[in-house]
Amino acid sequence: DQQVKQNSPSLSVQEGRISILNCDYTNSMFDYFLWYKKYPAEGPTFLISISSIKDKNEDGRFTVFLNKSAKHLSLHIVPSQPGDSAVYFCAAETGNQFYFGTGTSLTVIP
Amino acid sequence: EPEVTQTPSHQVTQMGQEVILRCVPISNHLYFYWYRQILGQKVEFLVSFYNNEISEKSEIFDDQFSVERPDGSNFTLKIRSTKLEDSAMYFCASKEDTGGYEQYFGPGTRLTVT
């Protein structure tokens, strides 16, 4: 039951460039989408979210784009920094139940 | 800054034994969650808890699992008879209210069933 998918298990980006992490979903009932960042041996940390009624939300270097017709969201990190290296999970919420993707491991090369 | 704490950080148990994983959510939060992550796999929702009762649960959360908020601060996950496939990281999370969707996660408990 893969309602939320992250098809790229890993991504490498040069410091200062843009990182684009992608996420696809299948359930049109999702109300809210979130991105979490996870370092090894730690729990996920909330990064940014977007309501299903919006198509863009920006917070500093992080921007999330939502394309409802394509059931696709993306996280843009500009400029990427070495400290951004972590696993990024997208998640979707409906009825107080949250579904996570499998994660994308981002490496930002100094 | 307030944070979610979990104990123990690592629990080793034998198959068939009962385990209780403990969490202390952020004090003014009202929604509580348990997730698990099997090594190399995605984070999976187990259960959400609000107003002293389960509000949602996944297919994974079968009769072997139970949750409890025994007092005003702790939130526990009990696995009655552990199986090898229960080996995973278990994360607790809490959320303030229905107006926000941001969950705060604890550092996790690594459960190893031998």
Model confidence over B67-109: pLDDT tens digits? Answer: 999 887 899 999 999 999 999 999 999 998 766 678 899 999 9
By Cβ distance, the residue of A42, A49, A89 closest to B102 is: A49
Q: What is the pLDDT of residue B54?
A: 94
- Angle at A48 (CA atoms; ends A34, B33), nearest 5 degrees: 45
Looking up tokens 């298990």, which residue turns up? A9
Model confidence over A4-40: pLDDT tens digits? Answer: 999 999 999 999 999 999 999 999 999 899 999 999 8
Contact flag B42-A89 (C-beta cutoff 8 Å)? yes
Q: What is the pLDDT of residue B11?
A: 96
Q: State how far residue B92 is from chain A, nearest Cα, in angstroms.
A: 9
Nearest CA in chain A to B4: A43
| Amino acid sitting at position A40 | P
Model confidence over B20-50: pLDDT tens digits? Answer: 999 999 988 989 999 999 988 888 999 999 9
Whether the predicted pLDDT of A97 surpasses 90 = no
Looking up tokens 């996920």, which residue turns up? A44
**In angstroms, rounded to a whole number, what is the distance separating the alpha carbons of residues A27 and A12?**
29
Q: State how far residue B101 is from chain A, nearest Cα, in angstroms.
A: 8
Q: State how far residue A72 is from chain B, nearest Cα, in angstroms.
A: 18
